[in-house]
Every structure is written in C-alpha cells, then in structure tokens.
C-alpha cells in the first residue's frame, strides 16, 4: 500500500510542530521552507540589538529532522497550490515550477510586514521577521552611533541618534527598550565625542496605549517603565509619512536616521494560492478542524489562518501556530489509520508576556496580572524553554547571564563586504 | 604641552597590539579601521564551515578600547597618507578626504587576496579574509548541498558536490579538511537523496607539497592525513583557469560549483600611499626599527611590511604583526619620554601550527616536530589563548567541546534576504 505523503509548507512554529507530531505516523513527510533554518522570532530583537548571535535563536531545519527518518527537508519557495490536482508548485535553485503531489497539505506559511497600503515606507522603515532583517538592523543601529561619533553638525548628529519604532506592540516595546538599555549600559563609556545616553528613542502608535493585547493596567505599567527608561512614548497619533530623514507623527516632524517598522503584519499569499475565502487581512478562513472549506486534505495553520474562538479571531502568536500544527498532524494521523475525527480545535491560551528592558516584563495569564522583576524571570524562563534545541537553551542562558552581569554584548558586529581600495 | 597623537591604521593583530601597548603612554591614540571589529583570522575557516559564529571570533574594537581612555576609535577607510604634512586621509560615512594630523603613524593595514594577475578568478573563487567572506562562503557551502539534494542530473549533482581549494597553505588545508569532517560527521544522516560523504574535495597547489612553511616530514604527515580524510590532493600543477563551472588544474578540467581561493595574498596599498620602496609583492621595505626610510615618525607593521631577518623575509603571520605592533608602540613611548632608542626589532618565532581535520595537527617549534593528536591539543589551546577576550575563549571552548562530542554545528545557517512573493 502506498504511504500517504504529507507536504508541510513552512518551517516556523506551526510547520515544525506539525512535522514533529508526525514522527511516528505511517506517512511520509516533506517539509518545504524558503530558508534552511527555523527562527525563534520572539528573540529577533535581541539579535538586532547585538545581545544574541543569529545562530543562538535559529536551528538548521534539516538538522532538527535528522533522526526523523520519515521526513525529507527541501529548501524551496512555494509559489502556488493546485488543489484540484493536489499539487504544490515549488521553485528551488534554478528549477522553476516543480510540481509535487500531496495526499495531505499543511500550509504554515506565516506572515510578513504590512505597511497598510504605504509600501513606500518599506525602504525607510524595515521590519523584523527574518535573521537577515535582524542582521541588517544590527548593522544599521551600530553604524548610526559610529556615524554620530564623527559627525560635527549638531542637527545631523541628533538625527543619527534618534530611533523611531512605529508600532507599540510587543516588538516595538521590546526594540525601544532594548536600544535604551544598550545606550545606558553597553555603550556607556565607549564613545569619546557623543553621549550614547542622549539618544532619542521614540515609540509611536495610533492606539492610546502600548501592548494593546494586555490589560489596561499592564499597558500602563509598561508605559511608565518605558518613560522611566527615557523613551519618548507617543500615543494616539498616526504616522503620516516616513522618508530617509525622518517621520511625521500627527503633525510633528521628527528627524531620524533610524526608523523600525514594528506595526502590522500581512499573511502569506496562501489565500491567493487556494482562491478561497479570506478575512479582511487576507488570512485564509479555516473551519474548526483547521481545513479549508471543500478541501478536507488542506490544513492552514498559524499566522496565515483565520479562525474565531468565542466570537474573536485567534491572535497571530507562536502558541496558536504550534497548537494548530499539532492538531493538524494528529488529525491526519487519525484519518490515515481510519480513526474517528478529532473534536474541533480549541486554542488553550497559556498567557501573554512582553519584556520592557532589563528586569521588567508584563505577564497576563489565567487571571494573573503581573509586572516587574518576577514577570521578567518568568519571561526569561519561558523563552529559554521554547527554544528548539537544548544546545541553544544552554547557550542563550549563558549569554544572557554574561550580558546581564558585564553589560557587554556578544555580537556587536557590523558585517558587510569591504571594498578593497 | 601638547600630547602627541599616535594614529594607528588597522585594528588587526598588529594595530591592536600597538594600541594596547600604548595604554599607559603619555600620548593620545586614534585607532582607525574600516570595520568595527577585530577578527581572529586563523579561525575564519571555522565560521565558513558553520562550527563557530562570527561573534565568537570577532570583538568590537570600540568595546576592546573602552577602558583605555587615551584611545579614540574611528570607523573609517584610510585612502592615503601625506607624509610631508604628516596627515592621513580618511573617508568616513559620507565625508570624503578628512585630513587627520599625526605625530606618529603606525600603518597596520594588512593584506588582501592576490590572484597573481588573474583578477578574473575573483568572481568565481572568493577568498577568506573577513567575516563577510566567511559568511558568504558558509551560505554557499550549505547551499551547494541543498541544491545537490534536489538535483536529478548526475553531472550537475557531482559538480555541486565538488569543492576545490586553490592553494595548500594552512587555510587551504584547514578548509579542505573541515569540509571533509563536515560531510562525514554533521551531514552524515541529514540528507535523503545524496550521500554527503561522496563529496569530492580537491586541494590543489603548484608546489610539490602542502604546508610549504613546515618541514618536509610534517608536510608528508599532513598529506597522508588529508588523503585518509578522502581529500584529492593535487600537487605540482598550476591552476590554469577558474570559471563558474569549475577549474582547470594542469591540463585536467574539474567541474565544480565551489572554488575557494586559499593561495596568495597581496599587501594593502600602504606602499602606494607612502610612495616608498616596496618589495616584489608590494610590501613596504621597512628598516630594522620598523620605520620607513626618511620618515622616522611612520612605522609599518604586519602583513603590509617587508623586513628580512637572517637573510629571509619575515612571514605574514599574526605573531610577526603582534610583535611588530608592540615594538612600534614601545619605540614611540621611549621617544616621547626622551629615552634612548630600542635595539633593532627581532622576531621571536614561537612556532608554527596547522590543523588537519579532527584530532590531527602539525606543530613545528624550536626544533620540535610533532604531528597527530598531541599537536592538535596544542593547536586548540594556543588558538583559544590568542582570542581577544576571555568571554570568547570560554564560548569557543564550549562550542568546540559540544561540536566534538555531538558532531553538530552551531551556525548552520544560510542567511540571505528573502523576496516576498
């Protein structure tokens, strides 16, 4: 009898969870990703601020799947799905349009930045989704201080030392506070002409409070902490424009050589591939069993899927993706062995965490609301625990301990091609 | 009284040693480098083969100089020297041709690849001098196996799995054996369609033996070890041509998608800046006190300097650069405080080491010749010891221990910008 082939597209939280769950299923698994590594996105901001090295938050997908002999890993870029003929279409290396037939398909293709119709912002306000994004932001941040150190013109120097985060969700809050901590600890005595502590760090959002997914009380605690770190928190006003020299927030122009896009995300084009119903953001409307209407063999999970629970859409977070990936895998297993279907998917929310600089986080979980040092400890432990490999847990823990004590950062590198003169 | 300014160009082994030695001198120091980090070049091949992360062999120069309050660090690209007016000319950020007046100048500008008049090889056979070189070689090597895994055509697959090192000095020997070890340990069970162990690794050199700076006995021991690792060692024949599909060695064409240039180096343009006498390779002919003839205030040290000792030119190795950097600094210190001049520079050769894969190195020091496991232990200890910071020593030691035991590599990442489709 032919062994069914499960094709999983995407090696993020959802796809990887699905692949691992299928380890002992009587199926073959093909896991396709555009990049050769799984990234722990919640810590990308620490790569961007020189604390962690890229390799400390990323693992080779191939290496993660070595022992899982029913699984093949493929580096390729999926460009479409032909649901009628049950095929995914992949570009790999110089081969365009390879067709791969599946018995079951799990689309876990995630999300990318959304500039809400202002794609012209992209060139001036990069986002933070991949290791490449984090490395170029790291280069840019370090370079800004190097340039400020040799700049004589006070206005240009000020623009070089102004950093604007657009979007006060977890990523914006974490980036802004990480830059503040960097200027106050690591950089403190490193420059001779500029005072890194005088950096102007702006966190802007249209919303009236930061960390909107948290309670008002925790938002306020986070806001106070941000202010005490010296961050200029600007709420309730839209960012009207972004160019190479700064931003306009509300009706005020701020000259800034660094703007980071920490606002919206847009789903992958999975909805377009399938030609199915999508929500307002473009995410695939899936059924309670995570399949696409009329396509019981296609599951869509994670940030690119849209599913309501208790009348509200599930958030685009790692936990949802992982639980959905595992559910899809279990569901396929039961169908393959001829078992009854699972009850509809239910997301179990373990809670919500965001860190604000050193020694401070906010935590909201099962009725508990906590801010401060204890929440920060929980944050650290949870993030260590969710890394993909033991070796990374050990390495990140050591790095954090060292940076915590010494104030130094291990990856303070501007890496770029030097032209030989 | 005005404090004399010592300008040091280059934060490699020579420049950094000079800067550190001037810590307690009554001078101001300006250390200029094109990149923001000091790289431990002898371990670049381990970054290229995914064992170490860039941050494990590199340190922020600014961070290394934090406590040294008489020293200012500048990120800039020196483009010339005006010896008559005692000025260096620097491009930094968008400022072209900044002129900085010095009282003493130490040029420690190192070397880059030399294609011996075949600059057209550069596009197809990159070298290994910077972190950027090492990262792109890492991306390329990992990518070659990913591409081979999805390649159906046997000839193309073979070319993807053929790796040619041009030049059998230490870098070539180390790269070739590191690739061999990677295919035999880390990659062993990771692919489903290709057998990584079948990779064809070629080490080519015009010379009749590898590691020409070692004794014939050690060269032969290294050669045997290379062969036992499955490496195709091709000696005594020149590389006639390199293109995007392979190389011609002697009169045989080898199809290969990866060619690494591990042969010659060319000095920085310091000689051109000074308009002084250079040797055949273009290195500045310096005097026994390391200054340039007629310019007692200009020292040239390291790979870009040419000095004979016992009738033979000093080799372009880290030890020479470090000893020369320290000598130049001491010499300046004595002149500033009005002390007598130092005796002429003498290089003290502590010995020579090269590693050939796992558990094997060759060592030649003060009449001792050693090959095998003991030499490998010495190699590891010496390299750990010469890293610039304690934190790196600790981190590299742990990483090596982990890779040694598990066979896994911590930095198996292809990092590149993904285009959103």
ipTM score: 0.93
- Asked if B408 lies within 8 A of A391 by C-beta distance, the reply is yes
- Three-state DSSP at B26 gives coil
Mean pLDDT of chain B: 95
Predicted model pTM: 0.95
Tens of pLDDT along B122-133?
Answer: 999 999 999 999
The alpha carbon of residue A414 is apart from the nearest alpha carbon of chain B, in Å, by 6
Using CB atoms, which residue from A37, A53, A417 is nearest to B132?
A417
Q: pLDDT tens for residues A143-184?
A: 999 999 999 999 999 999 999 999 999 999 999 999 999 999
- Choose the mutation target among B80, B119, B415, B419 for the interface with A, i.e. most A CBs under 10 Å: B415
B318 CB neighbour count, 10 Å cutoff: 17
Q: How far is B4 from chain A (nearest CA, A)?
A: 17
How far apart are the C-alpha atoms of A44 and B342, rounded to whole Å?
A: 52
Instruction: Collect all residues of chain A within an 8 Å Cβ-Cβ radius of residue B130.
Output: 417-418
User: Which chain A residues are closer than 8 Å to B273 by Cβ?
Assistant: none
CB contact (8 A) between residue A150 and residue B66 = no
**Is the Cβ pair A54, B135 closer than 8 Å?**
no
Asked if the model's pLDDT at residue B319 lies above 60, the reply is: yes
Residue B421 pLDDT greater than 50, yes or no: no
Is the pLDDT at A418 greater than 80? The verdict is: no
pLDDT in tens, A101-121: 999 999 999 999 889 889 999
Give the pLDDT confidence score for residue B100 in this predicted structure: 98
Pairing state of beta strands B352-355 and B361-365? antiparallel
Asked if the Cβ–Cβ distance from A417 to B269 is below 8 Å, we say no
- A412–B36: do the CB atoms touch at under 8 Å? yes
The answer to whether the Cα torsion of B287, B289, B294, B297 is positive or negative is positive
- pLDDT value at residue A111: 93
- Would you say residue A53 has pLDDT above 90? yes
Locate tokens 């954090």: which residue?
A400
């Amino acid at each position: 009898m032919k062994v069914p082939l499960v094709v999983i597209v995407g090696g993020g939280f959802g796809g990887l969870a699905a692949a691992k769950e299928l380890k002992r299923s009587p199926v073959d698994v093909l896991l396709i990703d555009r990049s050769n590594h799984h990234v722990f996105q919640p810590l990308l901001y620490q790569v961007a601020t020189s604390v962690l090295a890229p390799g400390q938050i990323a693992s080779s997908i191939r290496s993660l799947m070595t022992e899982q002999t029913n699984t093949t890993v493929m580096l390729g870029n999926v460009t479409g799905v032909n649901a009628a003929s049950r095929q995914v279409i992949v570009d790999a290396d110089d081969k365009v349009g390879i067709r791969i037939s599946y018995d079951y398909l799990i689309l876990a293709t995630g999300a990318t930045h959304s500039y809400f119709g202002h794609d012209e912002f992209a060139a001036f306000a990069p986002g933070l989704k991949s290791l490449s994004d984090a490395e170029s932001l790291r280069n840019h941040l370090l370079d800004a201080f190097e340039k400020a150190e040799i700049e004589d013109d006070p206005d240009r120097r000020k623009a070089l030392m102004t950093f604007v985060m657009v979007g006060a969700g977890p990523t914006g809050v974490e980036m802004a506070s990480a830059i503040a901590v960097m200027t106050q600890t690591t950089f403190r005595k490193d420059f001779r002409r500029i005072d890194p502590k005088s950096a102007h760090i702006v966190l802007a959002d249209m919303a009236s409070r930061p960390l909107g997914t948290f309670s008002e009380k925790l938002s306020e605690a986070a806001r106070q902490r941000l202010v005490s770190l010296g961050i200029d928190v600007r709420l309730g006003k839209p960012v009207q424009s972004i160019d190479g020299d700064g931003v306009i927030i509300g009706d005020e122009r701020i000259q800034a050589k660094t703007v980071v896009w920490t606002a919206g995300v847009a789903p992958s084009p999975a909805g377009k591939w399938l030609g199915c119903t999508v929500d307002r953001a473009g995410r695939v409307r899936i059924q309670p069993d995570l399949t696409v209407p009329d396509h019981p063999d296609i599951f869509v999970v994670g940030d690119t899927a849209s599913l309501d629970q208790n009348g509200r859409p599930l958030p685009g977070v790692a936990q949802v993706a992982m639980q959905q990936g595992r559910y899809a895998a279990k569901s396929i297993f039961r169908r393959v062995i001829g078992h009854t279907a699972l009850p509809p998917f239910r997301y179990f929310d373990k809670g919500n965490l965001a860190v604000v600089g050193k020694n401070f986080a906010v935590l909201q979980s099962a009725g508990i609301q906590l801010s401060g040092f204890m929440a920060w400890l929980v944050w650290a432990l949870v993030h260590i625990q969710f890394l993909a490999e033991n070796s990374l847990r050990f390495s990140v823990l050591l790095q954090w301990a060292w940076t915590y004590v010494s104030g130094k950062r291990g990856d303070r590198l501007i890496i770029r091609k030097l032209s030989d003169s």
